[in-house]
């Protein structure tokens, strides 16, 4: 991948954190899936959470967005405490995450999906069968968001008929409809071929303007292309944090992914 490493850009310097976690712990029957994590996410940057399978990335993601409550610790968005709040309350405060479109309505069009997401910000929620007229007022903005993610030509087809890459683009449009300050993306390029992967990378570069992005990502080429800062997790703890250019050759990271024999080379 020929794109410059994001960590080499000016954004690599850590600025004032917009989102921070302190001493974050989540236990499941005595097992600590997240164990004392401290995290600072700089405003306006792309921050990647990486680590081998079982490192605690998804659990941490769920703690940041309210889908799990912490056993201990805090999560703050500016001066607002997020820990213990519902996902809906956290979304209203400006933290949104993407979801796979397969969890929604395959028979609805992308345009309808985005209208519903826009309506959810007003309290209308998903009660679309009672409010068709109310939804119509979101049509213009829905069209703008679909154009932003490259789906303006697919707004009227069933979402279930979209290609995999287009479904992930729609997933981003739904998150953007919530107008978040902080956008969390869970493996946005998982399962993609090269063409779709490049498309989503460019799309994330485009939509990051004016917001902060946190992403969980296994593809380290994607991390190198997008992230100014990387937190590596192992066994629920922060192993190392820094620009990608610094952490990629760290023996601890190599050991975490490949084992001791590779780190010794």
Last residue of a domain, one of 179, 212, 245: 179
- From first to last of the 265 residues of the chain, give the pLDDT tens digit: 444 455 444 444 456 799 999 999 999 999 999 999 999 999 999 999 999 999 999 999 999 999 999 999 999 999 999 999 999 999 999 999 987 555 567 889 999 999 988 888 776 555 554 556 666 778 899 999 999 999 999 999 999 899 888 998 999 999 999 999 999 999 888 888 888 889 899 999 988 888 999 999 989 999 999 999 999 999 999 999 999 999 988 999 988 876 654 444 4
Q: In the numeric block, which tokens belong to residue 36?
A: 């004392």
Q: In the numeric block, which tokens belong to residue 148?
A: 């932003």
Give the residue carrying structure tokens 């996902």.
87
Task: Tell me, yes or no, whether 109 and 160 share the same domain.
Answer: yes
Residue 242 DSSP SS3: strand
**CATH code, 6:** 3.40.50.300
What pLDDT sits at residue 264? 45
Please choose, from the candidates 221, 219, 184, 189, the residue with its C-alpha nearest in 3D space to the C-alpha of residue 203: 189
| Three state DSSP letters for 120-188 | HCCCCCCCHHHCHHHHHCCHHHHHHHHHHCCCHHHCCCCHHHCCHHHHHHHHHHHHHCCCCCEEEEECC
What pLDDT sits at residue 107? 87
Task: Tell me, yes or no, whether 68 and 190 share the same domain.
Answer: yes
Distance between start and end Cα atoms, the chain: 25
What pLDDT sits at residue 119? 83
Task: Tell me, yes or no, whether 86 and 119 share the same domain.
Answer: no
Task: Tell me, yes or no, whether 40 and 166 share the same domain.
Answer: no
Last residue of a domain, one of 143, 159, 179: 179
Q: How many domains does the chain have?
A: 2
Task: Tell me, yes or no, whether 83 and 117 share the same domain.
Answer: no
Task: Tell me, yes or no, whether 77 and 193 share the same domain.
Answer: yes
Last residue of a domain, one of 179, 195, 219: 179
What pLDDT sits at residue 258? 64
Query: The domain containing residue 119 runs over which residues?
Result: 100-179
Task: Tell me, yes or no, whether 67 and 198 share the same domain.
Answer: yes
What pLDDT sits at residue 15? 67
Task: Tell me, yes or no, whether 260 and 192 share the same domain.
Answer: yes
Task: Tell me, yes or no, whether 39 and 145 share the same domain.
Answer: no
Task: Tell me, yes or no, whether 173 and 185 share the same domain.
Answer: no
Task: Tell me, yes or no, whether 87 and 196 share the same domain.
Answer: yes
CA distances 123 to 87, 119, 127, 131, Å, are 14, 7, 10, 12
Task: Tell me, yes or no, whether 42 and 149 share the same domain.
Answer: no
């Amino acid at each position: 991948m020929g794109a410059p490493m994001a960590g080499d850009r000016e954004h690599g310097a850590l600025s004032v954190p917009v989102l921070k976690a302190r001493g974050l712990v989540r236990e499941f029957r005595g097992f600590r899936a997240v164990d004392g994590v401290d995290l600072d996410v700089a405003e306006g940057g792309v921050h990647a959470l990486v680590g081998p399978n079982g490192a605690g990335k998804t659990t941490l993601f769920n703690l940041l967005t309210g889908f799990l409550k912490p056993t201990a610790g805090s999560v703050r968005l500016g001066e607002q405490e997020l820990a213990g709040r519902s996902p809906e309350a956290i979304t209203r405060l400006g933290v949104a995450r993407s979801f796979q479109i397969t969890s929604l309505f395959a028979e609805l069009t992308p345009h309808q999906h985005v209208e519903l997401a826009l309506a959810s910000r007003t309290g209308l929620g998903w009660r679309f069968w009672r409010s068709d007229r109310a939804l119509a007022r979101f049509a213009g903005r829905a069209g703008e968001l679909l154009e932003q993610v490259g789906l303006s030509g697919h707004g009227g087809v069933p979402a279930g008929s979209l290609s995999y890459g287009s479904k992930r683009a729609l997933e981003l449009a739904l998150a953007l409809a919530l107008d978040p300050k902080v956008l969390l993306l869970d493996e946005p390029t998982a399962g993609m071929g090269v063409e779709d992967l490049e498309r989503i990378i460019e799309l994330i570069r485009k939509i990051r303007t004016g917001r902060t992005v946190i992403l969980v990502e296994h593809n380290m080429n994607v991390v190198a292309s997008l992230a100014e800062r990387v937190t590596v997790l192992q066994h629920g703890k922060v192993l190392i944090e820094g620009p990608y250019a610094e952490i990629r050759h760290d023996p601890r990271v190599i050991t975490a992914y490949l084992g001791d024999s590779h780190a010794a080379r």
